[in-house]
Structure 1
Amino acid sequence: MRPEPYDLPVTLDRRDGPHGEVVLRRRGGVHEIIVNGCFLMDTSDGRSERLLIDAAFAALGADGGRRRAGPPSLLIGGLGAGFSLAHAAARPGWGPITVVEREAAIVDWHRRGPLGEITAAALADPRSVILVTDLLTRLRDSDDRYDALCLDIDNGPDWTVSPDNDSLYTPAGLALCRARLTPGGVLAVWSAKPSAAFEDSLRNAGFNGVRTEEIQVARGVPDVVHLAVRPA
């Protein structure tokens, strides 16, 4: 259910986190997450977040994709409204699912707040683990490898709400992503608009199979998922 234009937002919670102010609002039947005064995401749809997961899973079975036996492991960067986690946990084909979310408030709104309507079953799934930490810190400090990285931490490589997230899309950030993937593993990055420059960055970072999948939205340019494969 999308909010009507005349629906006025109601603030449900406001917290100061390590990266600024995080606000949860309700507008009609839709919940919105606002970061430092900028709209980040809401619960009105979730199609592109689900595409993020499905596209990564499909790419694992494509030529040049993962060939290891057993269910693939998944790292989701950004809990957000929870559509990506809920969709992944609803698919039995995934193995361990790790979610990295740096805002403790967002995790709390899922565990004890209204966003639990989306993720309650996923959070109860024994495959799911939530880590409250910065994504780049996790990529840098952990030796764990994953068969898929599905990243949705901002509005995309060309339009970040939080300047702290810019470095994820740099050569150094993409090198960290590549290092945390198994051979043949898939990187999937959500974006609010297509970016030819980011496709070039992925190729320059040593990824194969770089492509972009689109999902149409009601107005404006389509949301997209950028896909890339670490060479096997």
Structure 2
Amino acid sequence: MDQPVTLDHREGPFGEVTLRRRGDDFEIIANGCFLMDTSDGRSERLLVRSALDALGERPAPAVLIGGLGVGFSLAEAAAETRWGRIAVVERERAVIDWHVDGPLAAISGAAQADARTEIVEADLVAYVREADVSYDALCLDIDNGPDWTVTDDNASLYSPGGLAACLSRLTPGGVLAVWSAQPSPAFEEALRTAGFTDVVTEEIPVRRGVPDVVHLARRPARPSRPA
């Protein structure tokens, strides 16, 4: 295996973030934890594609992508003409720079130039709780999964309060999609407890280990009636 070469390393308010090249691929490391690379991207693309499929024939739906990462999810969204507004929330200035004028522009450059696309520099956890805007789909990929967060603060996104914020950020019938490096039955149950319906988990086989997954859930189209 090729040895990684560090291209950029920065300290920020949420810790350290590093861009490395390994052979022909690029890797993002956050606080010493491998986050993602450019070697595949199937599950990151599935995150967006599955959310769109779950929305059915809804016209020009708006999507929020949580985490710019290496850009696969954004590229997938921009390649699909059915999406209306495409917002990407990324808290690390370094990651945005690597896409704007760095090596990751090769993946996301066309998507960034799309008139539908907006990149918002903000902490996703705070944005979901505080932003005064709704989306038809939330596609979240800021950790290695609900059970394996990059920073301790991110855990609140998967808590009852965080899931309630996600639910309120969605339009009625809207879809939440959460990427994970491994299945999480406990998270599936947390989604149901938070009021989501149609909770399913889609798997993508990987070269080694357990499959990557996308957890999908829906905000009910109408409020449930009291018993």
What's the TM-score, normalizing by structure 1?
A: 0.94
Deviation at 1:159, TM superposition (A): 1.1
- Which residue of structure 2 lines up, in the alignment, with residue 214 of structure 1? 203
Q: Deviations over 1:127-173 (max 9, x none)?
A: 00000100111112211000000000000011112212111100000
Cα distance in 2 for partners of 1:20, 1:193 equals 24
Identity of aligned residues (%): 68
Q: Residue in 1 aligned with 2:100?
A: 111
Match of 1:122 among 93, 105, 111: 111
1:36-51 equivalences under 5 Å are 36-51=31-46
Query: Distance in 2 between the 1:23 and 1:142 partners?
Result: 28
- Matched residue of 2:182: which SS? coil
Task: Tell me which amino acid in the other structure corresponds to 2:34.
Answer: F
Q: Which amino acid aligns with 2:65?
A: I
Name the residue aligned to 2:224. Answer: none
> How many corresponding residue pairs?
221
For structure 2, the residue ranges without an aligned partner over 5 or more in a row are 222-227
Q: Structure 1: state its 5+ residue gaps.
A: 62-66
Task: Return the offset for 1:185.
Answer: 0.1
Q: Does 2:81 correspond to 1:92?
A: yes
Work out whether 1:31 is the aligned partner of 2:20.
Answer: no
1:11 pairs with 2:30? no
Matching of residue 160 in structure 1 with residue 149 in structure 2:
yes
Matched, 1:226 2:205: no
Shift of 1:229: 0.3
- Deviation digits for residues 110-136 of structure 1, max 9, x if unmatched? 001000000000000000000010011
Measure the CA separation in 2 of the matches of 1:142 and 1:217: 35
Aligned AA (2:43): S
Equivalents in 2 of 1:183, 1:208: separation in Å?
12
- 1:109 counterpart letter in structure 2: W
Indicate the SS of the match to 2:174: strand
Displacement of 1:184? 0.2
Give the conservation status (yes or no) of the 8 Å contact 2:67–2:88.
Answer: yes
* CA RMSD, 1 decimal: 0.9
Q: Give the secondary-structure state (helix, strand or coil) at the position aligned to 1:126.
A: coil
